[in-house]
Structure 1
Amino acid sequence: MPWKQPIIGNRTVAILGAGVLGRRIACVWAAGGYNVAIRDPSADQRTSAINFIDNNIASFYKTFGNTNIKLGQYNTYEDLASAVKDAWFVIEAVPEKLDLKISTFAELAAKAPKDCIMGSNSSSFKSRLMVGKLNDEEKKRVLNVHYTMPPVRVTEFMTSTFTDPAIFPFLEEKHREVGLLPATARRESTGFIINRLWAAMKRETLMILAEGVTDPKEIDELFVELFGAKTGPCAAMDGVGLDTVALIEENYIKERGLPSYPVDWLRKNYVSQGKIGAKSGKGGLYPAGYTTKKDVVSQYDNLAAPTLYVLDIGVGENVTSNFFSSGKIYAASANGNNVRKLVDNLPFPDGIGISLSQGRMFWSNMGSPAVNDGTIESAKLDGSDRKVIVPAGVAHTPKQLTIDHVNEKIYFADREGMRVHRLNFDGSGHEILVQTGDFNNPVEKSDQARHCVGITVDPKHGKFYWTQKGASKAGQGRIFRANINTLAGATAVTRSDIELLLENLPEPIDLEIDPDTEILYWTDRGEYPVGNSVNRTYVGSGRDSEVSAAPKFDILTRHLHEAIGISLDNVNKHIYFVDMGGSVYRSDLDGHNKTVIFSGKNAFTGLALTHN
């Protein structure tokens, strides 16, 4: 039966796999005006994919030159049937495991429309190897279609040996429509065209490294200088993922009888130790964070960089009306670009946390500091479906907010309320964990040494931490911790497990902890030279339990302008922090390489991040 072009209309392009590459393929098609369905069994991956498209579709729209069309719609699905039921084109981007791809195509053939074109994004497995469970008519609609990490435009097609030849000019036309540059291999070939060239570079690079001839940095420097490339092969492999590189290379080894020692070396020295590149948190051929760049040069930069969510209290603008409700929430990429306003008209927002499992953000509104009217709100990550989960009158002046992802709890500090609170994501199960005073008592309420401001939680070790800042620039600041599980019979006022960690600090504000290293980080708004800084100290079991008059901690960076929000990027080993002067900063965990990634007429307070 001759192949007939599918009627597209409002039908979808379906992407199977919401990972680094899958979500970028989806973003290209949505930016090109096509409706997109993304299937992934992981709820976190589905949320991250939508979040990535929300934050990047505008830049993809400009990059691919699709300024005369309307953006397509995009949704995610857990099950395959729902994702492909209306598809005219499906691209599988599942891991490079042949048995998984075979079972995926068998299920796809049974559940997708009978005119749907089915493509595999694999560059190392021929699609001929994936169609053993399909009938002859189904095999005609299967091919390899490989995307080179959008926004790179190169896309390659290749027959499965069964593919109807009329499919290729049809798909080439559709890919050109969305701004891609398609090319069709004239015969079946493991690796297509570009990937065979790339495979040769990878293979020889790994041989050079395995033989100890030189190191990754020198290879890349020479490569970029000689060929005028934007990045070298080592940085590119880190961006792709060394685990993926190993899987692809092993397929070439089996098919062509190539030597295995370069991949054996890679697995022994990197993959087996979890050092699989930018996405791992342990680095790869380069240290963690190497690919995170302010000025993006290549498609491999910022693949593992976070999306930032920043609270602007609103006082930095020339507000002439609604001064007490001019706060906003912005999302931005880690290099300060793709800034989007998500929520506005907030009454002095201060703290923010993100739950990818819930697909929601949570933030605190201080309200008027003189009045008991603070609130906690929630919304989807695009700012829609806004809800109040802690109404006015329950918390006085909510400040930093943090999330215990293990136990699915929200913690927040309450400044003039002199309390630490905990609750469920929907606002139920509200508890007062710590109470340092009674806000109905004017003497206690005016005592700023009682005010709770910063909060962080370490579920791994069963602890939460908070700051009591003291009067402005007064050197009265303290940092405390207590157990997540309150002792039987204890109350927020009487609990005996509260431990004083540091005192006589200039003015400690927000906190973050790395549970793996048990290092506590915080911002301080006190006087120079110690204040207006980012600091850290070890709080694990080996610490000196004695609290001295001269606190022991490291000052990582100074000269901030009323520093407040702080967030750790444990994937790239970076600290992000903001100040009321309107700047967003990034530094290494030791404070080195401080970079201003955004600066404007704002007054930033809270900060949270997610990895897409």
Structure 2
Amino acid sequence: MRPTWQPPQDYRSRPVAILGAGVLGRRVGCIWASAGYSVRLRDPSEQQRADAITYIRENVEAYSAKTGKTPGPFEAVEDMKEAVENAWLVIEAVPEKIELKTATFAELETAAPQDCILASNSSSYKSSEMISKVNDQTKSRILNMHYYMPPQCMIVELMTDGYTSPEIFPFMVERSREAATLPYVARKESTGFIFNRLWAAVKREILTIIADGVSVPEEIDSMWLEMFIKGETIPCRMMDKIGLDTVAFIENHYVHERGLSPENTVDFLKTNYLDQGKLGDKCSQGGLYAPDDKPTTAADPLKQAELLVLDVGLSASTPNTTSGQILKLTTDGKSYEAILTDQALPDGLAVDQTCGRMFWTCMGVPGKPDGAVYSAKLDGSDITTLVEPGVVNTPKQLSMDHQAQKIYFCDREGCRVYRCSFDGSDLEVLVDNIGDDLTSQETIHDWCVGVTVSPALGKFYWTQKGSPKGGNGRIFCANIVTPEGQSMSSRNDVQCILSGLPEPIDLEIEEDTRTLYWTDRGEIPWGNSLNKTSLNEAGLLLSVDTSRDHEILTRGLNEAIGLKLDVPNSHIYLTDLGGSVYRCNLDGTHKERIFSEDQRAFTGIALLKS
């Protein structure tokens, strides 16, 4: 019986060794140094070693902004044995020559510690092609660990060599996340791993289109931008939306026209999906995605887009603390329906279309610590309590890190910022302004209201609105990862990036342009407005040519609360307590009221993408 694999002993105090200090090797070294690990780079070239040290020295602080750790020490050496001495992880990034890689692993078998994990960063060779000169025990510690080009792309793909101990993968997934990378595990050996196989097919067909004279590079790139980037189209979801029977029909035409094999396309779909009635979004059996994972709004791509909007219930004909509703509203404002009623002052709202669920906060009865957080399918069914009433005080805006499957929300009277998983587990306090002292009238200065998160910048942002119409509102930020050894009430990475605001409420960030947007329900002339400011690469305020450090995009709202960016369509949606939903351009122009009803008071808002 094979013994269970155990993690390297004391790995946190042992170095990570990178073999090869070239363009990619030095970036991989910077990743691990930013997570607080000691890093040794090995390269026979003195110039490469010097350049690698310079790169890490100049960039490790920026990388560490995403990990929240104090950077670890780093050095570059010439000798292999010195580099891997006592290492818990060795990543080879030597030139793409199979003979050299095979010889490297043979040398590592004797030079590296016997519990050391040995990885190849190769982009073209499977690690199984490099292990002919090592024994079976060593083979169980070897895997592919392929990085792309940090820091622009922080993805790493992990893949077995055919013998790798299965327990290594969850361990390395956690260590990779610790270093602020996004790990993906290939289920089996595959030349090109996951993404490179996808990219190989795309570039092959693009070159064929150009060679056939069907189109030109500029038009192809333009169509890709509109369809897949601006349109946020993802391939497996798109096939389910189109219908797998239609996909098979189209592919069958290519099979006959080009003389292709149907084995992995038409035949695969027929055997595994079509014959079982799994046709995609149009049937209850699902398709590539299981039916429970399918967004309930997925339908005809030409269907009118929709919004989810929270009515807090305080302007209802018979207002009470449980008359809140969640409305589904078309973006032209012409039709709506209540999909959930009897909510206890709902305030924050967000949607994850991949899992097909919405998440919202309910403030509960004012003055009582009975706030709660819930989730449900997008049609309002399958309601799940994530944070029970009584755990938090007055939860407000809710924001999501979709990749990490984490929810962030502020607790107003609790003066805290929280985070938990999509299922409500791992609830943690990220920021605590006042501890257990909730009685002082001074705490209103520390009320936390709006929150948004930027995985790309490694930070989350929140508003502290101050007293009503008081003009002492502020916006803060902190690292997603709490600095090592620090607590929610004493962390030293909290920074106030804006102050003296009328009364800032909800926040949202556009990561590509590093633009932070927020609503303000304070007094005129600066309140009841939509605002924005620009951030630098570190996620802090970028100096602008205005005396106020931010730009007011539009005004004239009636107790402004919610906002939702629709970047592909260059729109922003806004709500107010006056019962109106608005739409404007990203620059604040062409503001229009798309829905209004006197007996409504709107808070959170989310966009349902067709």
Equivalent position of 2:308 in the other structure: 309
Q: CA deviation at 1:306?
A: 4.1
Matched, 1:605 2:598: no
CA deviations on 1:130-175 (whole Å, 9 max, x unpaired) are: xxxxxxxxxxxxxxxxxxxxxxxxxxxxxxxxxxxxxxxxxxxxxx
Equivalent position of 1:568 in the other structure: 565
Q: CA deviation at 1:340?
A: 2.1
CA deviations on 1:587-606 (whole Å, 9 max, x unpaired) are: 11100111111111310000
Q: CA deviation at 1:48?
A: 7.7
Maintained 8 Å contact 2:435/2:489: no
Structure 1 CA distance, aligned partners of 2:502 and 2:461? 18
Matched, 1:388 2:385: yes
Structure 1 CA distance, aligned partners of 2:522 and 2:367? 23
Structure 1 CA distance, aligned partners of 2:537 and 2:234? 39
TM-score, normalising length from structure 2?
Answer: 0.53
Maintained 8 Å contact 2:535/2:542: no
Matched, 1:529 2:528: no
Equivalent position of 2:365 in the other structure: 368
Q: Which amino acid aligns with 1:310?
A: V
1:348 to 345, 350, 354: 345
Q: 1:97 to 1:539 in 2, by over 3 A?
A: farther
Maintained 8 Å contact 2:414/2:438: no
Structure 1 CA distance, aligned partners of 2:234 and 2:547? 52
Maintained 8 Å contact 1:503/1:547: no
Q: CA deviation at 1:498?
A: 0.7
Aligned ranges 1:55-204 → 2 under 5 Å: 91-92=246-247, 98-99=253-254, 105-106=266-267
Unaligned residue ranges in structure 1 (runs of 5+): 1-39, 50-75, 81-89, 120-299
Structure 1 CA distance, aligned partners of 2:504 and 2:274? 60
Maintained 8 Å contact 2:469/2:523: yes
Equivalent position of 1:472 in the other structure: 468
Q: What count of residue pairs does the alignment treat as equivalent?
A: 351
Q: 1:457 to 1:110 in 2, by over 3 A?
A: closer
Structure 1 CA distance, aligned partners of 2:412 and 2:270? 59
Structure 1 CA distance, aligned partners of 2:517 and 2:332? 22
Structure 1 CA distance, aligned partners of 2:355 and 2:273? 29
Q: CA deviation at 1:432?
A: 0.3
Among the aligned pairs, what percent are the same residue? Answer: 44
1:335 to 332, 335, 343: 332
Equivalent position of 1:448 in the other structure: 444
Q: 1:382 to 1:493 in 2, by over 3 A?
A: same
Matched, 1:583 2:546: no
Maintained 8 Å contact 1:366/1:398: yes
Q: Which amino acid aligns with 2:254?
A: D
Q: 1:454 to 1:113 in 2, by over 3 A?
A: closer
SS at the partner of 2:450? strand
SS at the partner of 2:321? helix
Q: CA deviation at 1:93?
A: 7.9
CA deviations on 1:185-224 (whole Å, 9 max, x unpaired) are: xxxxxxxxxxxxxxxxxxxxxxxxxxxxxxxxxxxxxxxx
Structure 1 CA distance, aligned partners of 2:561 and 2:346? 12
Maintained 8 Å contact 1:369/1:416: no
Equivalent position of 2:426 in the other structure: 429
SS at the partner of 1:422? strand
Q: CA deviation at 1:335?
A: 1.2
Equivalent position of 1:282 in the other structure: none
Q: 1:350 to 1:110 in 2, by over 3 A?
A: closer
Q: Which amino acid aligns with 1:464?
A: F
Maintained 8 Å contact 2:544/2:550: no
Q: CA deviation at 1:91?
A: 4.3
Maintained 8 Å contact 2:415/2:443: no
Q: CA deviation at 1:351?
A: 0.2
Maintained 8 Å contact 2:308/2:329: yes
Maintained 8 Å contact 2:519/2:560: yes
Maintained 8 Å contact 1:305/1:572: no
Q: 1:47 to 1:427 in 2, by over 3 A?
A: farther
SS at the partner of 1:350? strand
Maintained 8 Å contact 1:504/1:551: no
Equivalent position of 2:510 in the other structure: 514
Structure 1 CA distance, aligned partners of 2:338 and 2:388? 24
Structure 1 CA distance, aligned partners of 2:368 and 2:577? 23
Q: CA deviation at 1:607?
A: 0.6
Matched, 1:461 2:457: yes
Q: CA deviation at 1:307?
A: 2.3
Q: 1:113 to 1:565 in 2, by over 3 A?
A: closer
Maintained 8 Å contact 2:533/2:541: no
TM-score, normalising length from structure 1?
Answer: 0.53
Maintained 8 Å contact 1:534/1:557: yes
Structure 2 CA distance, aligned partners of 1:442 and 1:547? 39
Equivalent position of 1:297 in the other structure: none
Q: CA deviation at 1:570?
A: 1.6
Structure 1 CA distance, aligned partners of 2:410 and 2:401? 14
Q: 1:100 to 1:472 in 2, by over 3 A?
A: farther
Equivalent position of 2:30 in the other structure: none
Q: CA deviation at 1:452?
A: 0.1
Q: Which amino acid aligns with 2:509?
A: I
Q: CA deviation at 1:440?
A: 3.7
Structure 1 CA distance, aligned partners of 2:269 and 2:438? 67
Q: CA deviation at 1:417?
A: 0.4
Q: 1:41 to 1:498 in 2, by over 3 A?
A: closer
Structure 2 CA distance, aligned partners of 1:488 and 1:589? 38
Aligned ranges 1:530-569 → 2 under 5 Å: 530-541=526-537, 551-569=548-566
SS at the partner of 2:445? helix
Higher mean C-alpha deviation, range 492-501 or range 305-314:
305-314
Q: CA deviation at 1:537?
A: 0.4
Structure 2 CA distance, aligned partners of 1:478 and 1:503? 4
Q: Which amino acid aligns with 1:461?
A: L
Q: Which amino acid aligns with 1:495?
A: R
SS at the partner of 2:313? coil
Maintained 8 Å contact 1:466/1:480: yes
Q: CA deviation at 1:394?
A: 1.4
Structure 1 CA distance, aligned partners of 2:395 and 2:236? 30
SS at the partner of 1:523? strand
Maintained 8 Å contact 1:413/1:455: yes
Structure 2 CA distance, aligned partners of 1:343 and 1:536? 32
Structure 2 CA distance, aligned partners of 1:476 and 1:509? 12
Q: 1:455 to 1:423 in 2, by over 3 A?
A: same
Q: Which amino acid aligns with 1:486?
A: T
Structure 1 CA distance, aligned partners of 2:438 and 2:458? 32
Maintained 8 Å contact 1:307/1:610: yes
Maintained 8 Å contact 1:503/1:551: no
Structure 2 CA distance, aligned partners of 1:369 and 1:383? 25
Equivalent position of 1:262 in the other structure: none
